[in-house]
Structure 1
């Protein structure tokens, strides 16, 4: 834990709000300065592309990132040469022939992500951003300032703007940051980022008895829209509805990170009186799928090339589900080429009435992980995020045995130190309060009978005796 985090965790709410606002100011400058406006206009203009224009554009972007990776990234140069590929063959690869290149696994990204998977021509302002992901494998991605602005422009154009909102409007966010660090904290269960007119809600205190405090913030700050974890936003809306509380009408709910169901959309419509917009991306920022105003889930071809593959590594047909493999076009400091991100999608068989010639996804299958239930009834998802920022951990799994017992299954490079174990336990306590935490170090964590890894398993069901 950094010094600033220690200071934040022990500060009163007013000071925490000030610290969140200062962080928001710095974050705002990093994302929306520099080349942001130019990139934003580019994304909007390309939405009018014809199929031929998209083909030409993606071919040029792919060629550019492959040539850059071959010359400046040792990992790819060595790997591709081991596969017997010549420089001429690599330079001649197109979106149709990209399957000649080997796949990049999360394990390789974790292992080489801060060494040979980096370009030797890194741009200024680089920072690593971490994610454990639903695979339970912690990874870190390097973002330069320019890269961050390109990605922020894509999100503004294809996510916010398609949902009828923008970065200047007042928004509520439910994400993974522990803005309310104490599991046993009293209200308020949010902090206010005055710089960006953002209320950051705790994802770890959502319960029936706390829902009114969340709703008070929505009203007090006159929020225009909600964003963040699909399940956490759903839990909040459901608790508001179950208690008969009246929420103001919002412009949109924009969800991420988990599968959005028809039931969730209905609850958001009932509680907030607005449409919900689904989407898919990730910390890796090598692909983007977002929902347009006509309900179509579109791939953004100018963010990255997305392949959907079957178990044999062949491209699936429309209507079939495939594993998502991404080649990003935005990050030249750490190119991700044919990266197995670990999610699943189904390719659509139809076109969209919006008229945009951008590939359609029928369904973002993703992963539906279990919900961890607190003693007071709070419901939490993305619980695997407690492995973030712990480079010694190769893979981690959270198992809630019962309301009082949490089991952590860990695969690590080296045996966990007492300090690392203490950090993990404190992270659990910060979300659940005093529970019994057992840590089991293992050589491997096996997949379920369907072949999919479950990062979170809970044996506690909603409404069970506590």
Structure 2
């Protein structure tokens, strides 16, 4: 406790000050605004949104031209979030084509970032110190909701090449001081999982952080080996960057003896939302505006599912305005029992590419297919690849003797959901490999869905 207080109160603030970040002051302010009356919080959000649009119009060549083309004047025409529908959507292709004109003409000290490309489309973009400070502060605030803080022992199991290639001497010293240890999410062989289990037992961290798939795989490995992990004093397992499924949550909580805190965000879109101990996913609404759009680009009310589009209010140096995340979810109209007034994401269904399309044109959520596999204990891992409307491949890692009866059972489950005319090829593979980022994708369609055709 004393050392944690030293790190969170002295060492980390000094670290941020040397990097010229304002994250300490921002986090302190956020710990007040999370309890503000909702109208006051909404007013703050709207003021920041107006300021971002004015800044983009005045200082960002791409938006200066885009606003002029549609006859939009931020000072005259912006009244509230509903007016955002007049503005163009931003996606990875647009950013790639306009990466220089998306930089503000008064931006300084921009940092080049990359996404991992788990969707098959890596992205390069830029971030300023102001946005970095706010993203750090938002994550820090949410961490403290779970009775842990910077300076508590932490094991991060991650797959980004940025993190895993940055282990220079300065970073190693910093991580040692902050008591953070980074392990590779790619080490999923038998020996690699053995190593992760042993290191967690030795380290006895207060918190884990990683992809839900990888943490669940480590937990399953420990359980299979009869190795107890629920007595180590782990207080919380933070998961992010993939859709969290209930069986994964149950596996992690059972083995590690701690709650799972789901986080939603990305290197590009920012720290969007985080689960509190009461169970709700709170949006960082001081810095983030979320629109949920239908396939025609119309804003949907709370409770209705559509594509999540994000505007990052602190991204003026390289604006993310109406950025298509590729994720499908819904807002919640019900407040959280924890007392925080931050708006809530009701659910995140997954990525637009996590939906397969049926022969009659309806969408099939990947969870419907995951339930087929969940009922087959011999299936250790799987991946569904929809090649055409008439052909879907199912890759499985099977524990035990795979026979014709097992194959027929899997085919029957898929036919029941996708139609009897669809050809289902079941392929036995030794393992399901992660994407280059270290993330796993259970369900991939090569077809265009209504979400992919969302109006730009």
Map 1:21-420; keep pairs closer than 5 Å.
29=16, 34-86=21-73, 88-90=75-77, 92-113=78-99, 115-124=100-109, 126-158=110-142, 160-177=143-160, 193-247=175-229, 248-286=232-270, 288-367=272-351, 403=429
Q: Is the 8 A contact 2:95 2:102 kept in 1?
A: yes
Using the alignment, how far apart are the partners of 2:341 and 2:74 within structure 1?
33
Give the Å deviation of 1:163.
2.5
Q: Deviations over 1:160-219 (max 9, x none)?
A: 1122211211111111235889xxxxxxxx999423312211111123443221122112
Q: Does residue 433 of structure 2 align to residue 448 of structure 1?
A: no
Q: 1:259 and 1:87, CA in 2 relative to 1: closer, same or farther beyond 3 A?
A: closer
Segments of 5+ residues of structure 2 without an aligned counterpart are 1-10, 166-171, 355-365, 371-378, 384-394, 397-426, 439-443
Q: 1:210 and 1:133, CA in 2 relative to 1: closer, same or farther beyond 3 A?
A: closer
Using the alignment, how far apart are the partners of 1:87 and 1:290 within structure 2?
31
State the secondary structure of the residue aligned to 2:36.
coil
Using the alignment, how far apart are the partners of 1:73 and 1:146 within structure 2?
16
Using the alignment, how far apart are the partners of 1:207 and 1:110 within structure 2?
36
Q: Deviations over 1:205-248 (max 9, x none)?
A: 12344322112211222211110211111111111112111112
Q: 1:46 and 1:350, CA in 2 relative to 1: closer, same or farther beyond 3 A?
A: same
Q: Is the 8 A contact 1:326 1:338 kept in 2?
A: yes
State the secondary structure of the residue aligned to 2:187.
coil
Using the alignment, how far apart are the partners of 1:61 and 1:239 within structure 2?
47
2:416 maps to what in 1?
none
Q: 1:235 and 1:30, CA in 2 relative to 1: closer, same or farther beyond 3 A?
A: farther
Q: Is the 8 A contact 1:253 1:275 kept in 2?
A: yes
Q: TM-score, normalised by structure 2?
A: 0.71
Q: Is the 8 A contact 1:141 1:283 kept in 2?
A: no
**Farther off after superposition, 247-256 or 198-207:** 198-207
Aligned pairs, number:
363
Q: Is the 8 A contact 1:326 1:339 kept in 2?
A: yes
**Farther off after superposition, 275-284 or 193-202:** 193-202
Using the alignment, how far apart are the partners of 1:236 and 1:278 within structure 2?
17
Give the Å deviation of 1:291.
0.4
Q: Is the 8 A contact 1:256 1:278 kept in 2?
A: yes
Using the alignment, how far apart are the partners of 2:187 and 2:451 within structure 1?
29
Using the alignment, how far apart are the partners of 2:203 and 2:271 within structure 1?
33
Q: Deviations over 1:287-345 (max 9, x none)?
A: 51110110111111112111011111112233221101111111221011111121111
Q: Is the 8 A contact 1:104 1:337 kept in 2?
A: yes
State the secondary structure of the residue aligned to 1:194.
helix
Using the alignment, how far apart are the partners of 2:265 and 2:227 within structure 1?
33
Using the alignment, how far apart are the partners of 2:44 and 2:106 within structure 1?
24
Using the alignment, how far apart are the partners of 1:93 and 1:261 within structure 2?
39
Segments of 5+ residues of structure 1 without an aligned counterpart are 1-23, 182-189, 372-376, 382-398, 408-426, 432-444, 454-466
Q: Is the 8 A contact 1:228 1:254 kept in 2?
A: yes
Q: 1:239 and 1:151, CA in 2 relative to 1: closer, same or farther beyond 3 A?
A: same
